[in-house]
Structure 1
Amino acid sequence: MRIELNEEQKQIVATVREITQGEFKPRGLQVMDGTFPWENIRRLADIGVLGMAVPEEFGGLGLPVFDTALVLEEIAKGCYVTAMAVLGEVGVQTRIIATYAPGHIKERILPGVCTGEHILAICMTEPDAGTDVANYRTNVDIRGDRLVLNGTKTLISRAIEASMFVVFTRVDRAPGREGIGCVLVEQGTPGLKVTGSFHTMGGEFLHEVQFEDCELPPDNLVIREDGFRRLLSAFNTQRCLNPSISLGLAEGAFDEAVHYMRERSAFGRRIGDFQGMRWKLADMFRDIEAGRGLLYRACATADPFPDPFLAATAKIYCNEMAIRVTSEAIQVHGGYGFTDEYLVSRLYRGARYGTLGGGTTETLKNLIGKRLMEGEESADGILALLLDA
């Protein structure tokens, strides 16, 4: 399968690459203390990147998942923190609003996403339930013409900066997965509190968010019927965009390793002239290209959301590949690679998040194994099963 970018795709990738390498990468160390990269976000808003997931009628570009993945890949090469900030605007939270919210809410929120005025936060993980959605305790009661939300979410990105929270919650205390829906909560709603902050090894802050008798208008319940299935369908987008960041981190580390091996000398020779070092590059390149093929193929299935089987496969591989490649890039740099001043150190720390967010590796392996066990036997084997996914 050969991937050919059209002229529009080539143009936006080239523009984002120039901005990332010229602006974001040089100041990447400045946002490692948890500072939200407002300057970078506004720069990307100016060229339309924040509106990639927003339909054109609301001021966005309305681009497919593949185009969005290409852009996140480029940003991640130079700054993990900025890539994660952009993911919050082009990922599942925006797509849930664009797909399921009433028209007047779309009109109120989505144009501001494009300009960077509205920062979105998605609230899924709870102190006692992450992947185990069926055990969510957060609940929204429907009381006549109002909603009342109670519960706690944790490890939430952008909770301080967000103007809107997209909250996965139980609806009217209905049990199990079938009771899960989604509500929108605006920053400043009485009863909403950011109660804890955790600084991550990747440089971001994550937060705990509490909802105590938060009263919401009925239209803020954006998903109720068939909520679990619809939410998971939308969330498969995240399982393509998360690994696109992993792919970009690996590529950025690889580029840094190649440059360093060309410039650094030892024992009177460039270190890239030693066989062992060249083998490192060959392994890194092979792994990156394998990940690219898996990811791009998964992205190509999005209509509007990617195939869950292929997205899970791509995510597992790219997440784990990025850890290997960024680690090897540090090894290439020797002691310098262990310092904050060298980009490879920051890329490695960012790569470690991939297997944790958007569905853990272990959960996704279970999903893939179940699909393979339940699939019909084929004379053409596993390849046919994948192609029919």
Structure 2
Amino acid sequence: MNSRQLFLQHLAQTTDFPLLIEIEKAEGIYMFGPNGQKYIDLISGIGVSNVGHRHPEVVKAAKDQMDKYMHLMVYGEYVQSPQSLLAKALTDTLPKKLDNVYLVNSGSEAIEGAMKLAKRHTGRPNIISCVDAYHGSSHGALSVGGNEIFKRNYRPLLPGISHIVYGGFADLEKIDKDTAAVFIETIQGEAGIKVARKEYFQALRRKCNETGTLLVCDEIQCGFGRTGKFWAFEHFDIIPDIVCCAKGMGGGMPIGAFIAPKEIMHTFANNPILGHITTFGGHPVSCAASLATIKVLQDEKLIEGVENKANLFKELLVHPSIKSIRNKGLMMAVEFESFEVLKPIIDTAIENGVITDWFLFCDDAMRIAPPLIITEDQIREACKKILDAIAIHSQPK
């Protein structure tokens, strides 16, 4: 059987209509199929390949680490320099109080760990998150998710979870002294790139301070330079108590983390000891790749170029079928009238060699989140292919 047949027969399917795009190689902003097809990746594997596919510095770091050692022991027991160096590099990008890193394998795991940490540290039972939030697909992460379509068939979920409207000032009154933490995507991703006002985040920070509630910023999609700053919360002049990250963190390797002040994180060390455990969290190869990713973002000044590149997308993507473009940096949603209008445009764009898609909770908007290394010429090429696809499907029937 060929690869497609093996895929359909032996790999668990998450829809009845997978894209079935077969990729043999990826490099930079491009992916290549077995018959010479060439695709511009405008979604970075959903916010993962911020420094592009197979960046040579990331590949070298991973290979060098593989020549030394791979898995040794469960997280937190042995001194492993890839973990320690990465933790230092991460905390160097953050406000001084966020000085302690717990390394995991994914964004969902980061959320799970942060939920446990918040409850353990505060001794409180309740967690608040936002309507239309997406924090991951594991049971706890799904519980704090904010869209019922994805939750209803898995109930009962965790108790003590309630939701507020992202950006809604009135709902902040729901935060009280029984609230362990508020989990919030700094920029809402799967809701279709929603960006709250700076005043909202500052009011949220004040309310958390007043009630002794931990503020947890989910930077899994929006971190690592995606919005034009290393961390999206930097746009709003706030400092969270816990930061969760993953996706763009590993340069294509699986890794995540939740980061907090040491005095908060240390609650995992006693009563009980080993309060949070992971076998593969902080895998040395992933840590080496992540450290290289941070260095690439900084050395190549990729974050500094984000805003101009985003503006070029907005300048070029003009068509009567496009209702609006929402963005924070290169985290973009191009809005159309409906999913029925958008879906054939996406399909044709893929045929034309541009990979894009829509959002879980916003199916009338096209997702654009390219590798930050994308050049202006490549943006122009991608936008032309998208506009060509729009033109085909906007012609009178």
TM-score when normalising by structure 1: 0.24
TM-score by length of 2: 0.23
Q: Name the structure where helix makes up a greater proportion of residues.
A: 1
Higher relative contact order (CA 8 A, sep 6+): 2
